[in-house]
Amino acid sequence: MLKEQYSLLLVDDSEDDRLFIRRAILRQPRLRIVGEVCDGEEAISYLDGRGIYQDRQKYPLPDAMLLDLKMPKRTGHEVLQWLHGQSYDEMFIAVVSGSFLPEDVARSMAYGAHAYFKKTALKLEQEAMLREIIQRLDKAHAL
């Protein structure tokens, strides 16, 4: 069954990049941000419900995660590797990275990412990315 709104976890060490994507998400009524973290270790803590993230009313599991690759503590690839051994099969994972190197794309997809997008500050490209994420979430929830 399709959902009216999908929840997102933003994982990016750049406050500026989170600001740009947050602005784009605010223009998409079918998306809402349930959490923002700034490194891979914090992303794992959020998803695992550890520390301050134990309260699932305040920090619910997201329908989708937008994940940067180049971050401190643990990289996006390390988060993807950790997720591989977990039971978050329903969560849509989109890597949103400044790198579009073929090896980063291939490695991300091999580790279980569902989509890979190049970071952009351009409004039209951000909106296209978010529309594609919504379409892919709708398709997954229609099954």
Structural fold of domain 6-142: Rossmann fold (3.40.50)
Alpha helices in 11-122 (DSSP H): 15-26, 40-48, 76-84, 102-110
pLDDT at 86: 82
Question: Mean pLDDT of all residues in the chain?
Answer: 91
Low-confidence ranges of the chain (pLDDT < 70): 1, 143
Domain borders along the chain are: 6-142
pLDDT at 89: 76
- pTM of the complete model beyond 0.95: no
Report phi then psi at 67, rounded to 5.
Answer: -120, 125
